[in-house]
Chains A and B, each alone.
Chain A
Amino acid sequence: MDSLHEEDNNPFSGSDHIFADGIGSVLGDQEQNSSNNINDGFNHPYHRVDRLIPNLESSATIFGDSSDNSKHSYHYSDPNNGVDRYSSSVLNSPQNQTAYDVDKSYNHDSQTEFSQRGIRYSFNEADSEQLLANTLDAKTAIPSDGSAPNIDELPNSHNAFPNDHQENTDHEDDEYEEDEDYYPNNENQNSKYANQTDHLSLRPVAVGLNSPITITEALQTKDPTGHKVVLYTINYHSVQIRRRYSEFDSFRNSLKKLFPTVIIPPIPEKHSMISYFFNPISAKSDTKIIEKRKRLLTGFLRYCFNISQIKNSVVWKYFLTPSMSWSDIISSPPISILPQTNILAPPLDPVKPSPLHLLLPIPHSSTINSFRPREQDLESDEKFKELQQIFQIYRSQTHAMEKSSKKQKKHFKSLVRDLGELGAFYNAFSLEDNYDLATGIERTGQAIDVNFINSEAFSFKILTLSQEPLFEFNQFSNEALGVLKFRKLKEVQLYIIDTTIKRRKQMIESLQNAQEQSDKLEEILRRNAEQSPTIAAAVKRLEQGESINKVTSPWRRIFSGNKASSNSNDIASLNEQQRKDEIEKLQKELDKLNDCLGVVLKDLKDINRAIDENIQDLLATFHQKWKEILKDFANSILIWLDDNLKAWEDAKEEIQKIEVQKPALIDNNE
């Protein structure tokens, strides 16, 4: 009895404990350490829900109301004129106002993202001192944009993906790549290849040929504050749009949030701070980065153009409208009204969340690998697991291959340097008095020179034909895994609700049982009390003890596990009225939970269908792209081989013409 009281006095520690018990009993057959993980994982979502929805009463009323007015107040139809209506209707609900205020100020730019979130959390700090610790936890637990891929950045994210740290090592590669540039003008050396087809369409972009969208030039200029910026000119149906790299980056992040089920095409990496430090911007490295970005950003746009969800989206239209500045675009819907996290929004249209979405639990990413899907989901889960494996292999393989092709390029460049030296030396050698050998040596030098120029061009082809496409493959795989992870989180969400419903049902059942038991007991006690004063005193004490029992927030209970059922004494100690109240409350919760379940089931159905479709599209793109890479690589290598062969055959012809003079003997007849 005493320990129970203690727990009740400290609702946080108590609820954690009971929650853990609840989960532990459900996953009783799981191994001890994995259930520990689950406890950790479920902790944060629990608090998060608690924090997001400060008290049952307010959200309960919203909940009750929303079933009536959600149809109009959360309907967001036309981005052009629906803005005002939308925000005004949203303001009706105090709960949601809080959420959307934050979302409005939520900045797409990753650098300011953190500070914005900081504001959000400081707002919460004021609520309760105890929340501070949880908030700090939540800061790391909640992905910055609510979509799954960033979960990888968590320090304690599981080793589900062994090469999660690959990004870290990439900096080094970049550095040496930069150092390797012996000949700054390798793009110019490429005239031979450039003559075949235009520079960009050589890249195997799946929809590359005859694409109406291309980045035609990069314009170096200064922004109003005097900083040097590069504007990339997009040519789209003969309309010229200028955007900066950071705007592409922001655009892409917005797309990720708007379409959590779509595998958003990659853009080139940000220039890392480390390489800035070691390689202060120079004109040379600048042009290199700009050229690379031009190629890869064109690829990005062309891929996007091929994805109907993106192509038909209003953000895409905005982005390609010259008169619209990017800052205007992000401060207007749909970007401005994006939810904090996509896990609490409908997956196909995150800007139209139902109020129920906000009540959903947020599963922790570390729980992904330890939960068991519901029986009826096993089949689809298995299918997605296979896809996940494919992309995991893809990701690690393409990463290794990208590295390998970087090495090839590096070694080819070194070879080019040496061949250049050798060719020059042979040519100089032929100029010296070498009798009859001069032309033969000279022609050998020329052959080496041809090899030099050819290999130079070929080393550039390695960059555009294998290194960059492999980078894209790698990023695509990463994105695909992110989307799959999002699906999985949604599945975990379903699982949490499902088990909570089961537990609520159990609780009601046990309460009803207890009521029956209690009725029987009371009957017996009453009979006995008439004969014994001691029993009568005990009955009295029992009645008093019940009143000490505090009713904790049912909101915590919804997802916290069955507090009452964890202690049968607790149930037994309730009086009839309290039991009735409790059952009624639980029944209410159960209704809400069932509503939530309905929402999540629909979400998951949508997600499964959409992701399956999108992944099949991606795999088809991969397939197409591989074909093109293999073909282009074979073509390039043949050009390289043919030209070199010709040069050497010329040299050989000249060498064979060499006639070595016989020695002219000096007369020895003395």
Chain B
Amino acid sequence: MSNNFVYEPLSTEREASQHTEEITTKASELTINRSSSTKVDIGSLYINSEVKDPQKENDGQNPYISYLIETKSNDPIFAKSEFSIRRRFSDFVFLFQLLVNDYPTSAVPPLPDKKRLEYFKGDRFGSEFTAKRTASLNRFLKRLSLHPVLKRSKIYHIFIESQDWNSYKQNLKIRSDDSGVAADGGIITDVFINAFKTANQQSKEFIAIKERSDKLDENINRIDKIFQKILKRYGDLEQDYFDFSYQIKKISQLEPELELPFIKFSDGLNSLSLGFANLKNFLDNDYLISLKDLEHYISSIKNLIKLKDQKQIDYEALSEYLNRSIGDKEALVHGGGTNFFTNKFEEMTGQNHDLNKREKIHKLENRIERLTKELENSKKVSENFEKQTLNEIQYFENIKSIELKDSLNDLADNNIKFYKDLITKWSDIQQSLG
């Protein structure tokens, strides 16, 4: 086990729980004791990464796009406070997979779809596609940096900092191939067996959470759809005012005395057209992508809740089995439950009824003991998972709110810029018209 590279989730929890006393009242002021044994306020630690500057590169025959990741951080875990590296999309995918493996109880922020139409159309190196992808990857890293658990993952730190990423990647690949499959297999069978069951005891809290995330999903979806339409309108208006600007310019030839106002006016219309184009591009490449990314994140959360339900179902199935075993034992002890024919059969075969009975009771007692332990364990797992899930939902809510705030802010900023620029332009035109 290459513990050097991987932060085990349990150890994280353990570490975190060492300081329960400090966080009982103010949970947000989560602090941990670092190896340097200097107390660092985790709340004030930040990792700000920015993904930008997609570049086409060549790896033998296969061209690919690499993205520049620039990071600023005050976390002493990094050697410098500012650093930058280049990663390609498959690196992001690798990071994502490792995080999913290592943090089964976390809703790891999703990556943008690898399979997009652009792949088939062949313009996956087109600037529009890479711009959108850059925005999504940027959001992915931002989400990681805001996630209290994932942001402390070693692999994440290596990803954003290390120049030796490729060799790490080679080693890690082997490791994750060995153990990852086994671990996954366990979960998959569990899920498979209980695929058609639903948890009996749904806490009210979770029902509410599910409703909320469904509603959010629906709302984001609707807003997305309306914005798609508005996007089209902006495109239409962009073209209209471009045409109109051109036509006004042509008219200026007929009115030589008004040539200057006409040209200014035409220029103003052209800016209007450009303004619409910019708004359109912003919506298309940023705002709508942020909504899409949020939709993806919501579905990650939903999947996590589903997984939590599975744990609960496992527990419920176990406790049912235990109850049945206890019931069997009770029946044997009190004799009431034994079958007349079974007794008769045992007599005829010359078996000692009492001996048999004792053996059976003993067996059942063993089983009950084992099941009780299992059940306790399962209960712990399920409860832990539930708590983790609730935490994840908190993290998600936090990240979602930050994202929505940011995206609304961007929306307002872009609109303000659109109107401000045009006001400057048109005030000038108005003045020149007298």
A residues with a Cβ closer than 8 A to B are 390, 393-394, 397-398, 400-401, 404-405, 407-408, 411-412, 414-415, 418-419, 421-422, 425-426, 429, 432-437, 440-441, 444, 447, 622-623, 626-627, 630-631, 633-635, 637-638, 641-642, 644-645, 648-649, 651-652, 655-656, 658, 660-670
Contacts and interface: CB of A to CB of B under 8 A. Distances in A.
A436 B223 contact: no
The A interface, classified by DSSP as helix, strand, loop or mixed, is: helix
B8 interface: no
B180 interface: no
B24 A667 contact: yes
19 contacts: A390-B254, A394-B251, A400-B247, A401-B251, A405-B244, A418-B233, A429-B223, A434-B404, A437-B404, A634-B433, A637-B268, A641-B422, A642-B419, A644-B415, A649-B412, A651-B412, A652-B412, A664-B27, A668-B384
Contact of A655 (B23, B219, B412): B412
Given A426-B223, A447-B412, A631-B434, A660 B426 contact: no
B11 to A, nearest CB: 13
B20 A435 contact: no
B419 A644 contact: yes
B258 A631 contact: no
Nearest to B223: A425
A623 B251 CA distance: 11
Interface residues of B, number: 74
B244 A641 contact: no
A666 B430 contact: no
Contact of A666 (B261, B387, B404, B412): B387
Interface of B: 13, 16-17, 20, 23-24, 27-28, 30, 43, 148, 212, 215, 219, 222-223, 226-227, 229-230, 233-234, 236-237, 240-241, 243-244, 247-248, 250-251, 253-255, 257-258, 261-262, 265, 268, 272, 380, 383-384, 387-388, 390-391, 394-395, 397-398, 401-402, 404-405, 408-409, 411-413, 415-416, 419-420, 422-423, 426-427, 429-430, 433-434
B384 A652 contact: no
Contact of A425 (B222, B383, B422, B423): B222
A429 B409 contact: no
A418 B219 contact: no
A422 B405 CA distance: 17
* 7 A-B pairs with the lowest CB-CB distances in the bound complex, closest first: A663-B394, A662-B28, A645-B419, A652-B412, A415-B233, A665-B27, A669-B17
B267 to A, nearest CB: 12
B77 to A, nearest CB: 21
A478 to B, nearest CB: 15
Given A626-B255, A642-B423, A664-B28, A435 B401 contact: yes
Given A634-B268, A642-B423, A665-B23, 13 more contacts: A411-B236, A414-B229, A415-B233, A418-B233, A429-B219, A626-B258, A627-B433, A634-B265, A638-B423, A638-B430, A641-B426, A656-B409, A664-B28
Nearest to A398: B251
Contacts of B250: 393, 397
Contacts of B408: 437, 440-441, 444, 651, 655
Contacts of B380: 670
Contacts of B215: 432
A444 B412 contact: yes
A414 B387 contact: no
A634 B397 CA distance: 45
Contacts of B226: 418, 421-422, 425
B244 A627 contact: no
B227 to A, nearest CB: 7
Given A408-B240, A627-B433, A665 B229 contact: no
A616 B427 CA distance: 32
A297 B258 CA distance: 28
B431 to A, nearest CB: 9
Contacts of A440: 405, 408
Contact of B405 (A418, A419, A655, A665): A655
Contact of A401 (B223, B244, B416, B422): B244
A440 B236 CA distance: 29
Nearest to B415: A648
A437 to B, nearest CB: 6
B383 A408 contact: no
Nearest to B16: A668
Given A655-B405, A667-B24, A408 B237 contact: yes
A394 B251 CA distance: 8
A532 to B, nearest CB: 79
A366 to B, nearest CB: 28
A630 B427 contact: no
Contacts of A668: 13, 16-17, 384, 387-388, 391
A415 B265 contact: no
B17 A432 contact: no
B255 A663 contact: no
A444 B410 CA distance: 11
Given A393-B254, A631-B430, A404 B415 contact: no
B148 A663 contact: yes
A364 to B, nearest CB: 31
A626 B429 CA distance: 14
A662 B412 contact: no
A663 B398 contact: yes
B401 A661 contact: yes
Nearest to B272: A637
Contacts of B405: 437, 440, 655, 658, 660
A665 B401 contact: no
A661 B402 CA distance: 9
A404 B249 CA distance: 14
Contacts of B13: 668
Contact of A623 (B20, B43, B212, B255): B255
